[in-house]
Amino acid sequence: MTHCVGFQLADEAATVQMGNQLAMLMEQGAVIYLHGDLGAGKTTLTRGVIQGFGHQGKVKSPTYTLVEPYELTTANVYHFDLYRLGDPEELEYMGIRDYFSPTAICVVEWPEKGGEFIPAPDLDITLRYVGDARAVEIQSISPRGHSIVDKLKNHSE
């Protein structure tokens, strides 16, 4: 059974804050899929997650490198952007499976391009435009994801 929660995000700061909140609720590793049109806020949400784990510097989308690692004191966070991936098999050559450890946080933009080379998500997140704002829908897929969504629901009430 999946759990689902949705929020309206007024601006970029609210999107970053949602990422911070997600980071605070993760007790161990997680695989997070991000869906949405170009510019919908996937990298902005990811920046919030990464900063929520203590990263101070810039967070850029790894559009050309496919993965940007953030090895922080509280967690290893790996930001994947598969938008420009030509063939999912390329992921096997880059050692994709090494990134997905039980304690790593793996945030994957454009996961549909990864095929069977990436594991199923704990959270499946969709961002979309609503005028100048964004709507985010967070769906849990696994027991770990259910726990995060339940905490997020309780935290926002």
pTM above 0.95, yes or no: no
Give the residue numbers spanning the domain of 104.
4-156
DSSP for residue 98: G
Say whether 9 sits in a helix, a strand or coil.
strand
Q: Tell me the mean pLDDT per 10 residues along the chain, length 157.
A: 84 94 90 92 94 89 85 92 90 90 94 92 94 91 92 77
Domains of the chain: total: 1
Check residue 114 and give its pLDDT: 93
Burial class (CB in 10 A: 0-12, 13-18, 19+), 134: buried
Check residue 131 and give its pLDDT: 84
Check residue 156 and give its pLDDT: 66
Domain containing residue 76: CATH number: 3.40.50.300
Check residue 157 and give its pLDDT: 58
Q: How far apart are CA 82 and CA 131, in angstroms?
A: 27
Check residue 80 and give its pLDDT: 95
Check residue 65 and give its pLDDT: 82
Sheet holding 4-9, edge to edge: 4-9, 133-140, 123-130, 30-35, 105-109, 76-81, 67-71
Check residue 1 and give its pLDDT: 56
